[in-house]
Homo-oligomer: A and B are copies of this chain.
Amino acid sequence: MKLIVQKFGGSSVRDAQRIRNVAEIIADTYKAGNKVLVVLSAQGDTTDDLIEKAQEINPRASKREMDMLLSTGEQISIALCAMALEGMGLPVVSLCAWQVGIHTTAVHSDARITKIEAERIQRELDKNKIVLVAGFQGVDRNGDVTTLGRGGSDTSAVALAAAFRADLCQIFTDVDGVYTTDPRIVPDAKKLPAITYDEMLELASQGAQVLHNRSVELAKKYHVDMEVVSSLERKPGTKVKEVVNMEKTNIAGVAKDTSIARIAVVGLAHNPGVAFRVFDLLGKAHINVDAIIQSIGRESSKDISFTLPRADVEEAVKVLENNKSVLRFDHVTVEDKIAKVSIVGAGMMTTPGVAAKMFEALYDANINIQMINTSEIRVSVLIDEENATAAVRAVHEKFFGGED
């Protein structure tokens, strides 16, 4: 008998009809002879409604009380979904994080799971019950409610799958899998039957928003087989696992990220420790820097460029300017009309010519490359934002064009 963990997001449970649909998926999995452990998010707009209520009363409410408030959303979802399964005559029990014993750090609104107790869930599974667990929430060592931050319910699901050594952790979403690129941009984008953790991580951090990196990292660490699958259509999704037997192509997908900007610090002294000081200051200001390129500029000085989320540009420039006397640079330039296009694939580095093939596609499309940045399984280029869509299409066509 297999144990399947299934996670349904907010839009999958947004109203009574969608909840009944979710209950049917769960029921089918259960009736097929599996043990089923389900993680649910809050219904559609519930979280937003609760945040609005809080804003009206106190826009600077403590994170502890926000967690207390927001955690009711998932509790409502599990109770309603349990009722739907009861209506189908199936044995079911809903459990909040404190009832399971999902222990976390005490960092309200961004807690990390430290331990999951087995006892209660195991007892219910042993009674052949379908177990519904409230996602996104935990309980800290003080007995206070915490929430896990962005991607929290995915993380709850993978953590439970790891704790109970589930055979599969299915993440149900609006999309039916992971594609070779965004199907809204390239209509003949192909759904991947499978992808490795590392490819998924690179795709996600390069702009594909199917799964949160945090949950994929956890899945990789504990060898949890995941599947991204549609809650609306019954068809196979994309498996995310350790090793994937890639056949005809050696890249998994093409991703685009237009939420970034580039900052250049021009005219830094050509001394040791300059780069350290720049990124140490930015790190202390909680600014997440992505690609970094250092080039030697004029005599005895150098320039450092880096990309970062556009939302952080203002703060980053402030940090740099405030420390101009310490860092001793000439000036800072900001370029925010840029985009990053990446190809991701596990076999990339062992297959010669992959990067060259990408650059050729861009050259043929007459798209200028501003910066290049690579990892073991990824090649990213920085280009003008206005060329982003054309670049994705050209690169996708180059790698996937002949297939079907």
Looking at chain A's contact residues, the main secondary structure is helix
8 nearest A-B residue pairs (beta carbon) = A69-B79, A61-B83, A58-B87, A72-B72, A68-B79, A58-B83, A16-B56, A65-B82
Count A-side interface residues using an 8 Å CB cutoff: 38
Q: Judge whether A120 is part of the interface by a CB distance below 8 angstroms.
A: yes
A74 to chain B, nearest CB (A): 10
Per the bound structure, the CA–CA distance linking A369 and B241 in Å amounts to 83
Per the bound structure, the CA–CA distance linking A96 and B72 in Å amounts to 11
Chain B residues closer than 8 Å to A79, beta-carbon distance: 54, 65-66, 68-69, 72
Per the bound structure, the CA–CA distance linking A99 and B16 in Å amounts to 31
Q: Judge whether A19 is part of the interface by a CB distance below 8 angstroms.
A: yes
A69 to chain B, nearest CB (A): 4
Q: Judge whether A143 is part of the interface by a CB distance below 8 angstroms.
A: yes
Give 18 A-B pairs besides A57-B84, A68-B79 with Cβ atoms closer than 8 angstroms: A16-B53, A53-B76, A53-B80, A54-B79, A61-B82, A61-B86, A61-B87, A65-B82, A65-B86, A65-B94, A68-B75, A69-B76, A69-B83, A72-B75, A75-B75, A96-B145, A98-B98, A99-B144
Chain B residues closer than 8 Å to A78, beta-carbon distance: 68
Chain B residues closer than 8 Å to A64, beta-carbon distance: 93
Residue among B16, B20, B68, B120 making CB contact with A94, cutoff 8 Å: B68
Q: Judge whether A141 is part of the interface by a CB distance below 8 angstroms.
A: no
Q: Judge whether A50 is part of the interface by a CB distance below 8 angstroms.
A: yes
Q: Judge whether A184 is part of the interface by a CB distance below 8 angstroms.
A: no
Chain B residues closer than 8 Å to A54, beta-carbon distance: 79-80, 83
Per the bound structure, the CA–CA distance linking A68 and B75 in Å amounts to 7
Per the bound structure, the CA–CA distance linking A65 and B96 in Å amounts to 12
Q: Judge whether A62 is part of the interface by a CB distance below 8 angstroms.
A: yes
- From known contacts A62-B86, A120-B143, A143-B99, infer whether A76 and B72 are also in contact, taking CB-CB under 8 Å: yes
A57 and B75 contacting across the interface, CB-CB below 8 Å: no
Chain B residues closer than 8 Å to A58, beta-carbon distance: 83-84, 86-87
Per the bound structure, the CA–CA distance linking A78 and B58 in Å amounts to 14
Q: Judge whether A318 is part of the interface by a CB distance below 8 angstroms.
A: no
Q: Judge whether A284 is part of the interface by a CB distance below 8 angstroms.
A: no
- Mark A16-28 against chain B: 1 for CB-CB distance below 8 A, else 0: 1001100000000
Q: List A44-70 residues whose CB lies under 8 Å from chain B.
A: 50, 53-54, 56-58, 60-62, 64-66, 68-69
Which of A54, A82, A83: most chain B CB closer than 10 A?
A83
- From known contacts A65-B94, A75-B68, A99-B143, infer whether A87 and B57 are also in contact, taking CB-CB under 8 Å: yes
Chain B residues closer than 8 Å to A72, beta-carbon distance: 72, 75-76, 79
27 A-B interface contacts by CB (under 8 A): A16-B53, A16-B56, A16-B57, A19-B57, A20-B57, A50-B76, A53-B80, A57-B80, A58-B83, A58-B87, A61-B86, A64-B93, A65-B79, A65-B82, A65-B94, A66-B79, A66-B83, A68-B82, A68-B94, A68-B96, A69-B76, A69-B79, A71-B75, A72-B72, A96-B145, A99-B144, A120-B143
Chain B residues closer than 8 Å to A80, beta-carbon distance: 53-54, 57, 69
- Mark A304-343 against chain B: 1 for CB-CB distance below 8 A, else 0: 0000000000000000000000000000000000000000
A24 to chain B, nearest CB (A): 13
Per the bound structure, the CA–CA distance linking A364 and B78 in Å amounts to 62
Q: List A1-54 residues whose CB lies under 8 Å from chain B.
A: 16, 19-20, 50, 53-54
A133 to chain B, nearest CB (A): 12
Q: List A79-110 residues whose CB lies under 8 Å from chain B.
A: 79-80, 82-84, 86-87, 93-94, 96, 98-99
Per the bound structure, the CA–CA distance linking A54 and B82 in Å amounts to 10
